[in-house]
Amino acid sequence: MTHLSEEELVLHYYGEEEGDTLAAEQHLDTCGECRAVYTSLQRVLNVVDGLTLPERDAAYGERVWRRIEARIPARRRRWTGWLPARARWAAAATAMASLLVAAFFIGRSYTPARRVGAVANADPKAGERVLLVAVGDYLERSQMVLVELVNANPQHPLDISAEQERAAGLVSESGLYRQTAEHVGDTAVADVLDDLDRVLLEIAHSPSRLSPGELETLRQRLEAEGILFKIRVLGANVRNQEESAPEKPSAGRQKL
């Protein structure tokens, strides 16, 4: 008699076996050895089932909403949804350029972003490329701030006010890039920029003098979140896109 393997018994328990269910049941009826294993399996899984869960009351959903409400970005129907991704980036670059040029005239623009605006407004294709360069540059500057903190190995409290100032500057700049990514539906980029934003904000609002222990905690958090890795990957994608932006219109995967 061929016995059922442990894997077959597990799959039978979940009704996922590839073979004949009835045959497996008949075998279990007649084979004491397999039935003993199967019974033991059932008992173990019953014990696991017996674990109760902490419940949340009916108002829990409301509390969750209150916690996330402020982080929900404003959403508009995407008028560029029918365009291919590259065309959406180009359209977004133009739209962003208009915003930036307007910002320039009212005297509120940020210098690197203003350059993006001026070029992109003159030529949308060039604008797309400049936008990619700007995002790439933004990621690189963010990476430098984070790497400096991660690599610092002080014996005494460290003054991070310079890094905080740079982090605050980067935060003020990031919103535009993130909105652009959301606007073109590139959630991968938007997600990384969102994560990066949170980290930079945290740094900007930390005490300006960190003890070696606090710095170590921060370093571990940055590593645990894998933010540097994400920035490197995204940065590499941006560079690849930069290289192909002017020559290859609307072909292949276009998202960052």
Partner 1 sequence: MELTDRACVAQARAGDADAFRVLVERHSRSLFRLAFRMTGNESDAEDVVQESFLRAYRQLDKFDERATFGTWLYRITANCSLDLMRSRKRRSEQMAPSDPDRDDPILNLPSTAPSPEREAQSGQVRDRVAEALRELSATERTAFVLRHFEGMCIEDVSRVLECAPGAAKHSVFRAVQKLRRALEPLVSTAK
Report d(CA 101, CA 165) in Å as an integer. 25
In the numeric block, the tokens 């604008």 are attached to 127
DSSP secondary structure code for residue 154 in this structure: -
Closest CA to 228 of 141, 138, 147: 147
Judged by CB under 8 A, does residue 213 bind partner 1?
A: no
As given in the structure block, the two tokens for residue 142 are 């963010």
The residue range among 97-105, 131-139, 168-176, 216-224 that interacts with partner 1, by the rule CB under 8 A, is 216-224
Q: Mark 77-98 as b/e (b = at least 16 C-beta within 10 Å).
A: eeebeebebbbbbbbbbbbbbe
Interface residue with partner 1, options 10, 99, 101, 152 (CB under 8 A): 10
Report d(CA 206, CA 191) in Å as an integer. 23
Closest CA to 104 of 120, 91, 90: 120
Interface residue with partner 1, options 187, 208, 211, 240 (CB under 8 A): 187
Closer residue to partner 1, CB minimum distance, 62 or 165: 62
**Residues of this chain, 43-62, that bind partner 1 according to CB under 8 A:** 43-45, 47-48, 50-56, 58, 60-62
The residue range among 95-103, 149-157, 218-226, 243-251 that interacts with partner 1, by the rule CB under 8 A, is 218-226
User: Nearest distance from residue 70's CB to partner 1, in Å?
Assistant: 11
Interface residue with partner 1, options 14, 82, 155, 247 (CB under 8 A): 14
In the numeric block, the tokens 């350059």 are attached to 115
Report d(CA 66, CA 64) in Å as an integer. 5
Closer residue to partner 1, CB minimum distance, 10 or 152: 10
User: Nearest distance from residue 237's CB to partner 1, in Å?
Assistant: 18
Report d(CA 218, CA 150) in Å as an integer. 8
Judged by CB under 8 A, does residue 253 bind partner 1?
A: no
State the pairing for strand pair 209-210/158-159.
antiparallel
Judged by CB under 8 A, does residue 74 bind partner 1?
A: yes
| Residues at the interface with partner 1 (CB under 8 A) | 6-7, 10-11, 13-14, 16, 40-41, 43-45, 47-48, 50-56, 58, 60-62, 64-65, 67-69, 71-78, 81, 182, 185, 187, 190-191, 194, 220, 223-226
